[in-house]
Structure 1
Amino acid sequence: MTEEPRNIIIRMPNWIGDLVMATPLLSDLRNRFPKAELTVMCQSNLSPLLRQDTDVDQVLSFTKKQKWVHSDSADISRSLKLGGFDVGILTTNSFSSAWWFFRGNVRRRIGFGGNFRSLLLTDKVSEPVNKEIEHQVVTYKRLLAPLGIGISETKPRLHLDPEEVGAAKERLRKWGVVLGKTPLIGINPGAAYGSAKCWLPERFRDVTQKLMEDPDCFVLYFGDSSTSKLVNDICSGMPQRVINLAGKTTLAELVATLSLCSVLLTNDSGPMHMAAALNIPLVALFGSTNPVKTGPFGIGQVIHKQVSCSPCYRRVCPIDFRCMTSIGVNEVYEAVRKQLAVKLK
């Protein structure tokens, strides 16, 4: 009988949305090995998403500059060696991530093959024959097969920081939002991957103006510093009930504020997956990417037009952007109102 692992490390994905989609692995590992020490390894900017996770014993974070540096300036391979990990699971497909597990003496190294790293793995997992017809959440779960864990029904989830949620509630109160009574619509008009994933800014503005016809409705615009100009342009001249938070929240503050929204309107993005993991009703607009593979898992409404060139996975559309221009303002507005009705039931 194989000895059960006592010290497990999981290298989490580098993108917000992918990291959220990989969180079911944490629950499944904890359920299967309740006595094991569970460590997650991730980039430092994403660690706030995991520090409140009750299934996690330790977060090993690093920054990636010219080389990988652990958050306390220790060499990452030394940190792995000191951890004495008997099992390591790689959700990332890079050669470098497998190399660090190999260098760090992680005894059993589980991951997908490819990228010249198969010799660094002790357990090479086969990817699905056609990844386009399988949700990424399920694909990540395949990594647990060598440990005897089958594909579960576990959904992505995020654990909230009570202090951050309390602070977010206080900010909303000061802006005039009455939680539980005020329709609070979050809108995320950007996407880190590129403009091909983004609906037209003027249409976000048009939907917002229609939402403002309800005198009780508030809209929160989310975004990072790279999308602040885009959001500024959309929000320019809007009523005070349209609140621009682009570039003004930390990741922890974003999670806390999202958790208080009635509905989120969003492109395919990290905040979309965060809202789904928080069980927030949402409307997700898809163009260049595939909602079957990376759509919100188990909640919300996807609007995706079946044009011949989608999904193309390009960062910028080289032609007429038909996948997004074919999504109309009234269609999106009605979808948001429908999701709002679901929330307020």
Structure 2
Amino acid sequence: MALFTTAPKSICVLRLSAIGDVCHAVAAVQAIQKQWPTTQITWIMGKIEAQLLGDLPDINVIVFDKSTGFAGMKVIWKQLSNQKFDALLHMQLALRASALTLGIKAKYKIGFNRKRAKEGQWLFTNKKINDTASSHVLDSFFEFVYFLGIKKTLPTWKIPLAEADINFAHQQHQQGKPLLVISPAASKDERNWLTERYAAVADYAIQQGFEVILCGSPAPREVKLGNDIESSMNETAINIIGKTSLKQLTAVIRDAKVVLAPDSGPAHIATTQHVPVIGLYGHSNPNRTRPYLSKDTVISVYEKHVQEQHNKPLNELSWSTRAKGDHIMADISVEQVITMFNKIIAK
């Protein structure tokens, strides 16, 4: 039974990080807005994530910088001290996020059911979603809004982009030429594909008449990876790694015909812009973390490796089980990626 049969006055959403996860969460939050436009929504999110979503229409975004620790929590609590929400959607399993809920007043504090509530999250909530079946993170976030009383719906995304961001994107590449965006870096280097293989696919795309943009964060390891890919190429790519804001990056991705990426934030940003993603997966379960609209274009060696490492069939492993090792991504070939690229552009 739904928690609310009419629109509640106010809801607080707690999902601090990461970029991919807040891209999943925004679809769920905007589903609430569509059905209950009068409900006031406050969203507590991380500092980096707010660079992408801090200007969402009709949402009060409160930024929590996790590096500020307990002092930062007290600032949030003071900011919300005069407010009691009808419901708090506690969508993050980390203990730090659970600690933050202690100073937020809400009639209902809703979390994951005990089967999935890692790090003791179930101790910090008084209502639990029923869901144990959904494998994808986005589907589990939607279970929160269905629990509230939102009707079943397909996810949609509206992330505001300024004219300046769109113009920036247009200036990075020739208009009229199709664009492949390669975001080569995952959160950990072992999850990256091989440098020379990114280069080979980039060369192939350029030979098919595409322009290729390399994108990513200013982290030194990402900058180095981009430079190494460029050095391994015969053709010339446009390298904007470390040279964009998250909004500018979103606008660049929006211009693409195809995005190539491992399990990473830009892969999920592409989903919000309805751009098909060739997702490269080896360490995490693509059924759980793939770009949501790109199920048929994921290339995965996860199943093989996780079953070998745990000596169990996939259906007997936890949905969040990871495969480990620096060698895994080498099992994805250039030929597989080019075949998928051709399949997408043929459409």
Residue equivalent to 2:18: 15
State the Cα deviation string for residues 4-42 of structure 1 (Å, max 9, x = none): 421211112411111111122112211232111112110
Pairwise mapping of residues 197-208 of structure 1 onto structure 2 (< 5 A)? 197-208=191-202
Structure 2 Cα separation of the partners of residues 308 and 236 of structure 1: 31
Q: Give the Å deviation of 1:137.
A: 1.0
Residue 317 (structure 2) aligns with: none
Deviations 1:54-103, CA, capped at 9 Å, x for gaps: 3x421111211141566xx9711111223442321111013332333332
Sort the Cα spacing of 1:328 and 1:118 in 2 relative to 1 into closer, same or farther, 3 A. closer
State the one-letter code of the partner of 1:292.
N
Q: Mind listing any 5+ residue stretches in structure 2 that lack a counterpart?
A: 308-313, 315-320
For 1:32, which of 30, 35, 39 is the aligned residue? 35
Q: 1:291 to 1:117 in 2, by over 3 A?
A: closer
Report if the CA contact (8 A) 1:8-1:36 is conserved.
Answer: yes
Whole-angstrom CA distance in 2 between matches of 1:145 and 1:238: 48
Residue 190, structure 1, aligned to residue 193, structure 2: no
How far the C-alpha of 1:107 sits from its partner, in A, is 2.8
Query: 1:151: how far off?
Result: 4.2
Equivalent residues in 2 for 1:296-311, closer than 5 Å: 296-299=291-294, 301-305=297-301, 306-309=303-306
SS across alignment from 2:196:
helix
Distance in 2, Cα, partners of 1:69 & 1:255: 32
Residues 1:126 and 1:98: Cα distance change in structure 2 (over 3 Å)? farther
User: Where does residue 75 of structure 1 map in the other structure?
Assistant: 75
8 Å contact from structure 1 (residues 282, 339) kept in 2? no
User: Within 1, Cα distance between the matches of 2:248 and 2:121?
Assistant: 37
- Secondary structure at the counterpart of residue 80 of structure 2: helix
Look up the match of 2:155. Answer: 154
Q: Distance in 2 between matches of 1:2 and 1:279?
A: 32
The residue correspondences of 1:68-217 to structure 2 (distance < 5 A) are 68=70, 75-112=75-112, 113=114, 114=117, 115-128=119-132, 134-156=135-157, 158-169=159-170, 171-172=171-172, 177-179=173-175, 181-192=176-187, 194-214=188-208, 216-217=209-210
**Does structure 1 residue 263 correspond to structure 2 residue 258?**
yes
Q: Quick one: which amino acid aligns to residue 183 of structure 1?
A: P
TM-superposed deviation, 1:162: 2.9
TM-score (norm 2): 0.84
Q: 1:13 to 1:236 in 2, by over 3 A?
A: same
Q: d(CA) in 1 for partners of 2:202 and 2:147?
A: 49
Counterparts in 2 of 1:123 and 1:150: CA distance versus 1, 3 Å: farther
SS of aligned partner of 1:280: coil
**Residue 264 of structure 1: how far off its partner (Å):** 0.7
Q: 1:45 aligns with which of 43, 48, 52?
A: 48
1:136 aligned partner, one-letter code: V
8 Å Cα contact 1:142-1:150 kept in structure 2: no
- Tell me the distance in 2 between the aligned counterparts of 1:168 and 1:82: 42
Aligned mates of 1:77, 1:66 — CA distance in 2:
14
| Kept after mapping to 1: 8 A contact 2:279/2:298 | yes
Partner secondary structure for residue 298 of structure 1: coil
* d(CA) in 1 for partners of 2:97, 2:274: 31
Counterpart amino acid of 1:333? I
| Residues 146, 332 of structure 1: alpha-carbon distance in 2 compared, 3 angstrom cutoff | closer
Match of 2:65, SS state, is: strand
Structure 1 contact 63–69 (Cα < 8 Å) conserved: no
Distance 2:31 2:5 in 1: 19
- Corresponding residue for residue 217 of structure 2: 224
8 Å contact from structure 2 (residues 206, 235) kept in 1: no
Q: Kindly indicate whether the alpha-carbon contact (under 8 Å) linking 1:22 and 1:156 is maintained by their aligned counterparts in 2.
A: no
Distance 1:37 1:200 in 2: 46
For residue 225 of structure 1, give the secondary structure of its aligned residue in structure 2: coil
Shift of 1:304: 1.3
More helix by share: 2
TM-aligned CA distance change 1:66 to 1:38, over 3 Å: closer
Evaluate the alpha carbon distance shift between residue 240 and residue 111 of structure 1 in structure 2; reply closer, same or farther with a 3 A threshold.
same
- Runs of 5+ unmatched residues, structure 1: none
- In structure 2, C-alpha distance between the alignment counterparts of 1:69 and 1:236, rounded to whole Å: 45
Give the SS at the match of 1:334.
helix
Whole-angstrom distance in 2 between the partners of 1:135 and 1:190: 22
Q: Normalising by structure 1, what TM-score?
A: 0.85
